[in-house]
Amino acid sequence: MRPAIYARVSYSTQETDNQILQLTSWAESRGWGTPIVYKENETAWKAGHQRVLADLLEDARKHKFTMLLVWALDRLSREGPLAILTLVNRLKTYGVRVISFQESWTEAPGELADLLYAIAGWVARMESQRRSERTKAGLERVKAAGKKLGRPKGARDKKRRRSRRLRTEVALQTGQFVR
């Protein structure tokens, strides 16, 4: 068995190190060998924007590993049951088994696993929605107290500026103006 690890965090202030350390140790203690590591710093709500997950899926298609270890299934997606089932089934068609450290039932054989994957996906989505609701409520409370939200007046968005610069470079290289 060739294992791989997919470790994901949502914010730049977070680290994947804890997930990787625990999962690597787990894989080696079970005799699965040293895993290939895929680490990503991107929210699980950005379906299609998780570049490392896309690379992982391509490597799975090429049979570079046979088992994918995750800290918890919500590291794959927080979009709900369909998203989790789709990812797990896609990996299964490539001959890759998804095993979660937190959800030990992912190692159980049989069709009951599909139901449990769906439930885990639903729970992940509900957790994320509750977190979002709490954040919005906190922002409303701060706003009601008279504090201003957002970037200070005159502050610039470095990401947007970089993106504009890249579009300009593409336009110069191709001779086409890209807006």
d(CA 134, CA 153): 26
For residue 179, being part of any structural domain is answered with no
Residue with tokens 């294992």: 3
In a domain, 155, yes or no: no
pLDDT for 50 equals: 75
pTM of the model: 0.62
**CATH number of the domain that residue 54 is part of:** 3.40.50.1390
Q: Is residue 154 part of a domain?
A: no
Let me know if residue 131 belongs to a domain: no
Q: Would you call 42 helix, strand, or coil by DSSP?
A: coil
What confidence tens digit (pLDDT) does each residue in 6-46 have?
A: 998 877 778 889 899 999 999 999 999 999 999 887 665 55
Q: Could you give the number of structural domains in the chain? A: 1
Write the Ramachandran bin of 161: left for phi over 0, alpha for psi from -120 to 50, otherwise beta: alpha
111 within some domain: yes
Q: pLDDT tens digits for 50-82?
A: 788 889 999 999 999 999 999 988 888 877 777
Residue 151 falls within a domain, yes or no?
A: no
> In percent, how much of the chain has pLDDT > 70?
72
User: For residue 119, what are the domain limits?
Assistant: 3-125
In a domain, 162, yes or no: no
